[in-house]
Amino acid sequence: MSERVTPQSEDYAGWYNDIVQKAELADYSPVRGCMVIMPYGYTLWENIQAGLDRRFKETGHVNAYFPLFIPESFIKKEAEHVEGFAPELAVVTHGGGKKLEEALVVRPTSETIIGHMYAKWVHSYRDLPLLINQWANVVRWEMRTRLFLRTTEFLWQEGHTAHATAQEAQEETLQMLEVYADFAVNDAAIPVIKGRKSKSETFPGAVNSYTIEAMMGNKWALQAGTSHFLGQTFAKAFDIKFLDENNQLEYAWTTSWGVSTRMVGAVIMTHGDDQGLILPPVLAPHQVVVVPIWRQEEQKQAVLEAVKSVKAALADAGIRCHIDDREGQTPGWKFNHWEMKGVPLRIEIGPRDVAQKQVVLARRDVAGKAGKSAVPIDGLARAVSDTLAAIQAHMLDKATRFRDENTHEAKDLEALKTITADGWARAWWCGEEACEANIKERVREQAGIPITTRCIPVEQPGGKGVCVGCGKKATEQAIFGRAY
Amino acid sequence: MSERVTPQSEDYAGWYNDIVQKAELADYSPVRGCMVIMPYGYTLWENIQAGLDRRFKETGHVNAYFPLFIPESFIKKEAEHVEGFAPELAVVTHGGGKKLEEALVVRPTSETIIGHMYAKWVHSYRDLPLLINQWANVVRWEMRTRLFLRTTEFLWQEGHTAHATAQEAQEETLQMLEVYADFAVNDAAIPVIKGRKSKSETFPGAVNSYTIEAMMGNKWALQAGTSHFLGQTFAKAFDIKFLDENNQLEYAWTTSWGVSTRMVGAVIMTHGDDQGLILPPVLAPHQVVVVPIWRQEEQKQAVLEAVKSVKAALADAGIRCHIDDREGQTPGWKFNHWEMKGVPLRIEIGPRDVAQKQVVLARRDVAGKAGKSAVPIDGLARAVSDTLAAIQAHMLDKATRFRDENTHEAKDLEALKTITADGWARAWWCGEEACEANIKERVREQAGIPITTRCIPVEQPGGKGVCVGCGKKATEQAIFGRAY
């Protein structure tokens, strides 16, 4: 832990890799592109899971589990889908010592196998809607991998729903986009733009894909969750049919939506600084770390007793609190250690604090003296709760301000190049695929920036404008920027 | 749901398959040997997970996640391990459209890859113990599969710990056996025998394997969880070394332990009857189902209002309650439906009940009138809580009595044959592998019963006896029986 972290300003990617490892979130594995999620990182993921799972259940969804393996022929049933995923597949050719008659694909996503099961389960409109989510691992053979951001195997949830009408499926798609945004904003303190993907960025097989886009500390975009309206594409490929109220046989309308361990990367890059992680209190494995401080052996007992009673008071209030009473490490070393791990609030308790019946709070989100305050032990749990809430709010504010300060409207292609060199551009856009390709090509060639259309935000300014790419009339603005 | 369930007495295996599907716990998938865990079955699994995970955390363990894929060479590093698992492996030979240089095995269990990571993480005695658990899917290419009991892919947790001393690792092994037994008895209402596996039944690579063995309704045994003391086997194969307090380089001592979705099968076969599942209240997805009953339309509103207030009162008390107010199904149909699904307690509310400010409780574990009682709406939550506790206790009692009534001491091989034809035999046994093989062979040849040594119970009668197989002196008794 004593080694230096690469500063963000020097090498952002290097900073990210350092943080992931020094904060013990994840480690490289001996398997190409696969990561090991270490206990601290996994606990963060468990807290992300809990926040999402609660929201899924509140909106009427249930969890289930579908097979890891998918017959190769299933993937090929939907033309766009196979085109999108074929290059990324891991294939099992042998099982139980024998070559398989049909190779099995390790699921890259489960629309196909779930579509097959839904066709078996759905007969009548009374069987709809089917509102199922799955927590699972998936595999996509990625060429360049980055811990949490792009790994060959990753963990995620994938919701798959089937409905009797297009409208209901569209409402579900947007409801889940809302659920994702609510989680990102309120639990992860990550401000996100909700929007529709352009055609070229749409999920293979979907009619429309929606996304939540977050701005990272280097002003690149990260797609942090997606929700797809699949129309009848998969219903037709897998024969999900039902008798409607008029006894007519109809194809169902389906959706799918997912958030993955990538969300951990979003948390790291939205909030972290050169001292390490900064975790939002709602998701932090330890919301509070208590560091007892003493010089002479005779001070130790009184300090440790105060620590114990503080821990008990905080635990009673439902605050996740960790005591670092290791001997052989200095308080200063421990401060750095837990700052690296992003614990939102540190409590220091020394002999003088014990005598004065107080403790010192030190906020991770506010550096130096400004973040420190002495607080009476009496009523501490309340003060800590309030401080954690203030930290959570401050982190969201700060990230929102950062994003807004680094997002600008681009009136023309020149402005688009300048703005996307160091932030996001909002611009009127016609929505045409050819125009989009042209914009990307020109910005890349002329400014060396590999931008993409991040999304067409759900919230639009209204009115009309002139397309930043082709100059035609445009009714919507889009967000452009570099992305992970 | 109207179709008949195969009675247990007619065909136990047929009964089991019927229940799994009619209670909508799981379904067959198009992938050989892989199951789909349906929402109702998955919720049961989530409750099993919660009960285990809480106990793991209370005993100081943390969760993490290791890769799905294991390099083929890893599996081969430990001779017994590869011998045990090689015939069951699924192998990925292609990724991203190319043949892989080294094939990857889909994990059948993770001692090898976790051993590799532990070698990287452990340097000093200060890094020990490592107490990590993983919730994951694993794949073993099984020839004959049965939903939940033996599937090619299954879900489980696998704990993997590393310690500085043999004693500490042995204590951990037995502690986790205790945790499993505590869960089985108190949450699943499944009485289990804790015991050591014979050498031939020991996990490939372990020094000792411990098991919890449960008796199913057909008097076969089911191994419901295992805990292995791995000695230094995997530490040596994967080079997990640490500097001890005297600065000596030592190999660590490791353990592993697991419970899988097989536990769902144990719940089904311990408690179920010809009307369907019977779920222990602690694990049941719905602890209570409320069925409103009315004949005339004018009765409906008053009944539904009473139902709503009952639901609110139960939810406030933390009771998982489901209302079945579907129209178009008769109360009788609903009774059968929820009996099939094993809901521990049904509440019936009709117009007369509303008038008398009461409801009718009907216990799933006590058939007919004996299980029914009228209870005042005032104070209902308390009465329901008490009844659920009584059901939980009664289910454990009943299963314990059943097991004890079907376990007998066998003095000689003749008795062993008679007893294992319809139950478990306890018998003095010398512990020799050759003797065990001989016992199994003779019982199979002479009585047609494929028995196995289930375990050498931790709790022994004391004293000595004569080995049931070879007549030598024996200091321990073993349990013999047919098993899944």
A95·B91 Cβ contact <8 A: yes
Q: How far is B347 from chain A (nearest CA, A)?
A: 23
Whether the pTM exceeds 0.90: the reply is: yes
- Contacts for B434 with CB less than 8 Å, ≥ 6 apart: none
Fold designation for B407-481? Translation Initiation Factor IF3 (3.30.110)
Out of B31, B95, B136, closest to residue A90 by CB: B95
Out of B36, B65, B104, closest to residue A155 by CB: B65
ipTM comes to: 0.96
* Nearest residue in chain A measured CA to CA from B94: A91
Q: How confident is the model at residue A3 (pLDDT cuts 50, 70, 90)?
A: low
Q: Where would I find the H helices in B321-412?
A: 331-340, 351-355, 380-405
Instruction: Please give the mean pLDDT across all residues of chain A.
Output: 96
Walk across the sheet containing B153-163 and list its strands: B62-63, B130-139, B153-163, B253-260, B221-229, B208-215, B193-196, B452-457, B476-481, B424-429, B407-409
**Pairing, β A288-292 against β A321-323:** parallel
* B12-271 and B407-481, same CATH topology: no
Position B3 scores a pLDDT of 66
Out of B27, B63, B106, closest to residue A46 by CB: B63
| Dist CA A161 CA A243 (whole Å) | 17
- Contacts for B216 with CB less than 8 Å, ≥ 6 apart: B222, B266, B269, B270, B484
- Contacts for B192 with CB less than 8 Å, ≥ 6 apart: B180, B181, B184, B185, B212, B213, B214, B224
B141·A95 Cβ contact <8 A: yes
Out of B66, B104, B139, closest to residue A68 by CB: B139
Out of B36, B92, B141, closest to residue A67 by CB: B36
Q: Given 3.30.1330.60, 3.30.930.10, 3.20.10.10, 3.30.360.10, which CATH number is that of A12-271?
A: 3.30.930.10
Q: How confident is the model at residue A1 (pLDDT cuts 50, 70, 90)?
A: very low
Using alpha carbons only, how large is chain A's radius of gyration in Å? 25
* Nearest residue in chain A measured CA to CA from B64: A39
Position B80 scores a pLDDT of 85
Please give the distance of CA B446 from its chain centroid, rounded to a whole number. Answer: 32
Mutual angle of helices B39-58 and B262-271, in 10-degree steps: 110
In B, which residues are within 8 Å of A106 by CB distance?
Answer: 68, 92, 106
Q: How far is A294 from chain B (nearest CA, A)?
A: 22
In B, which residues are within 8 Å of A42 by CB distance?
Answer: 62-65
Q: How far is B235 from chain A (nearest CA, A)?
A: 17
Mean pLDDT of A139-155: 95
Interface of B with A in 30-89 (CB under 8 A): 30-31, 34-39, 41-43, 45-46, 62-71, 74, 86-89
A137·B137 Cβ contact <8 A: yes
Q: Say whether pLDDT at A96 is over 70.
A: yes
Out of B31, B42, B65, closest to residue A64 by CB: B42
Out of A36, A113, A141, closest to residue B66 by CB: A36
* Nearest residue in chain B measured CA to CA from A112: B30
Q: How many residues belong to chain B?
A: 484
Interface of B with A in 441-480 (CB under 8 A): none
Position A2 scores a pLDDT of 46
| Dist CA A121 CA A111 (whole Å) | 15
Mean pLDDT of A373-382: 96
pLDDT in tens, chain B (484 residues): 446 899 999 999 999 999 999 999 999 999 989 999 999 999 999 999 999 999 999 999 999 999 999 999 999 998 888 888 989 999 999 999 999 999 999 999 999 999 999 999 999 999 999 999 999 999 999 888 999 999 999 999 999 999 999 999 999 999 999 999 999 999 999 999 999 999 999 999 999 999 999 999 999 999 999 999 999 999 999 999 999 999 999 999 999 999 999 999 999 999 999 999 999 999 999 999 999 999 998 999 999 999 999 999 999 999 999 999 999 899 999 999 999 999 999 999 999 999 999 999 999 999 999 999 999 999 999 999 999 999 999 999 999 999 999 999 999 999 999 999 999 999 999 999 999 999 999 999 999 999 999 999 999 999 999 999 999 999 999 999 999 9
Q: How far is B344 from chain A (nearest CA, A)?
A: 20
Out of B31, B63, B93, closest to residue A94 by CB: B93
| DSSP of B22-91 | HTTSEEE-SSTT-EEE-HHHHHHHHHHHHHHHHHHHHTT-EE-B--SEEEHHHHTTSHHHHHHHGGG-EE
Please give the distance of CA A64 from its chain centroid, rounded to a whole number. Answer: 22
A36·B67 Cβ contact <8 A: yes
Q: Given 2.40.50.320, 3.40.1050.10, 3.90.1200.10, 3.40.50.800, which CATH number is that of B288-388?
A: 3.40.50.800
Position B2 scores a pLDDT of 46
In B, which residues are within 8 Å of A71 by CB distance?
Answer: 30-31
Query: Is B97 touching A (CB cutoff 8 A)?
Result: yes
Out of B67, B93, B97, closest to residue A29 by CB: B67
Interface of B with A in 147-186 (CB under 8 A): 152-153, 155
Interface of A with B in 316-335 (CB under 8 A): none
* Nearest residue in chain B measured CA to CA from A144: B96
**For chain B, domain boundaries:** 12-271, 288-388, 407-481
State the CATH class of domain A409-481.
Answer: alpha beta
| Dist CA B176 CA B211 (whole Å) | 10
Kindly list the distances between the CA atom of residue B275 and the CA atoms of A22, B17, B200, B216, in Å, as whole numbers in the listed order: 57, 13, 39, 17
Write out pLDDT tens, residues A246-270. 999 999 999 999 999 999 999 999 9
Query: Is A122 touching B (CB cutoff 8 A)?
Result: no
In B, which residues are within 8 Å of A94 by CB distance?
Answer: 89-91, 93
B113·A63 Cβ contact <8 A: no
Using alpha carbons only, how large is chain B's radius of gyration in Å? 25
Question: What is the share, in percent, of chain A residues with pLDDT greater than 70?
Answer: 99
* CATH code of the domain occupying A288-387: 3.40.50.800
Mean pLDDT of A384-407: 98
How would you classify residue A309: left for phi > 0, otherwise alpha for psi between -120 and 50, otherwise beta? alpha
Query: Is B14 touching A (CB cutoff 8 A)?
Result: no
B90·A95 Cβ contact <8 A: yes
